[in-house]
Amino acid sequence: MTTPPPLPQPGDPSVPHLAEPMAPPPDPRPGLGPVPAPPATAPGPDPFAVVADAVDGMRDELAALGDQFRRRLLNDREARRSLDGLLTELDQARKAAEGRIVQPLLYDLVLLVDRVERRAAQGDAFAGSVAAELLGVLEKYSMTRIPATPGPFDPDLQEAVGTVTSPSPEQNGRVAEVVRHGYRMDERVVRPQQVRVHTER
């Protein structure tokens, strides 16, 4: 029985094609230890949540603008109301001052109209035209004649200075005739209209 030849051993110079086993390549980062694993990627934001947050922000901004607009409108109304009140007070003060100065002169002019109209009633045409001119001056200063219209006696505008026998019960308490014209300035009666009133026998 033939003994098999021994296996070549590493480093045996008789076997040149065998070499020492290759060592692992050196670590390119000596002293840093093993290469760490890449970090896990965090999930991105929810797009629906982003849109909801944006809508909520817009809603808050619109609510703030609405509140600001309402406050501004309220302030403007208060300022306008104060200005209107001031203008009204100034107008009333102006009219009161004019009344204290002008009204006595206008009342004297009314008495002059009475005298001129009495002349016109006697057929004086010139006196009639003068009376019309004087009435125009009175109206220019808001002094107007109370209309002489038939109707029930009005104690706010008229003064009863006599009575006339009523031709029928339906006429009782109604104005029969105007004795002297009345006047008012704006809504205030300066001189009541003097009238005779229908009464029973």
**Least confident range of 8-17, 154-163, 172-181:** 8-17
The pair of three-digit structure tokens given for residue 53, joined into one six-digit string: 């947050």
pLDDT, position 21: 54
Sequence-distant (6+) residues with CB within 8 A of 44 are none
Instruction: Judge whether 168 and 134 are in contact, CB under 8 Å.
Output: no
pLDDT, position 57: 78
Q: What is the dihedral of CA 118, 124, 130, 133, to 10 degrees?
A: 90
- Give the CA diameter of the chain: 187
Domain ranges in the chain?
146-201
Find the mean pLDDT for residues 69-86: 80
Superfamily of domain 146-201, CATH level 4 = Head domain of nucleotide exchange factor GrpE (2.30.22.10)
Q: How confident is the model at residue 23 (pLDDT cuts 50, 70, 90)?
A: low
Q: How confident is the model at residue 38 (pLDDT cuts 50, 70, 90)?
A: low
The pair of three-digit structure tokens given for residue 153, joined into one six-digit string: 């006696």
**Least confident range of 17-26, 71-80, 94-103:** 17-26
* Spatial CA neighbour of 163 closest among 151, 172, 154, 155: 172
Q: CA of 112: how far to CAs of 131, 135, 182, in Å?
A: 9, 10, 14
pLDDT, position 176: 92
Kindly tell me if the per-residue pLDDT of 186 is higher than 70. Answer: yes
Q: Quote the percentage of the chain above a pLDDT of 70.
A: 74
Does the global pTM surpass 0.95?
no
Q: pLDDT of 42-68, one tens digit each? A: 566 666 677 777 777 788 888 888 888
Give 3 or 67, the one with higher predicted confidence. 67
**Least confident range of 20-24, 89-93, 158-162:** 20-24
